[in-house]
Structure 1
Amino acid sequence: MKKIILSILIIAISQLTFSQENCELVVKVENIKKIQGSLKIAVYDHHDHFLSKEIFGDDKLIKSDSVQFSFKGLGEGTYAVSIFHDVNDNGKLDSNFMGIPSEPYAFSNNAKGMFGPPSFEDCQFEIKDGLQKIVISL
Structure 2
Amino acid sequence: MKQQILFIMIFFCSLLASGQNTFDLIVKVENIKEVKGSLMIAIYDHEDHFLVKEVMGKRKAIESNQIEFLFEGLGKGTYAVSLFHDENDNGELDSNFIGIPSEPYAFSNNAKGMFGPPSFEQCKFEIKGSAHEIVISL
Distance 1:64 1:58 in 2: 17
**Mapped contact 1:19–1:129 kept (Cα < 8 A):** no
Scaled by the length of structure 2, what TM-score is found? 0.87
Aligned residue pair count: 126
**Mapped contact 1:39–1:61 kept (Cα < 8 A):** yes
Deviation (angstroms), 1:129: 1.3
Match of 1:77 in 2: 77
Match of 2:60 in 1: 60
Deviation (angstroms), 1:128: 1.3
Q: Where does the alignment leave 5 or more consecutive residues of structure 2 unmatched?
A: 1-9
Distance 1:100 1:51 in 2: 16
% identity of equivalent residues: 67
Scaled by the length of structure 1, what TM-score is found? 0.87
Deviation (angstroms), 1:116: 0.4
RMSD value, Cα: 1.5
SS at match of 1:109: helix
Amino acid at match of 1:29: V
Instruction: Please list, as runs of the form range in 1=range in 2, the aligned pairs for 1:9-88 lying within 5 A after superposition.
Output: 17-21=18-22, 23-88=23-88
**Mapped contact 1:28–1:134 kept (Cα < 8 A):** yes
What per-residue deviation string (whole Å, max 9, x for no partner) do you get for residues 55-77 of structure 1? Answer: 00000000000010000100000
SS at match of 1:51: coil
What per-residue deviation string (whole Å, max 9, x for no partner) do you get for residues 71-112 of structure 1? Answer: 010000000000000001111000001100000000000000
Q: Where does the alignment leave 5 or more consecutive residues of structure 1 unmatched?
A: 1-9
Deviation (angstroms), 1:16: 6.5
Distance 2:121 2:20 in 1: 25
Q: Does 1:135 align with 2:135?
A: yes
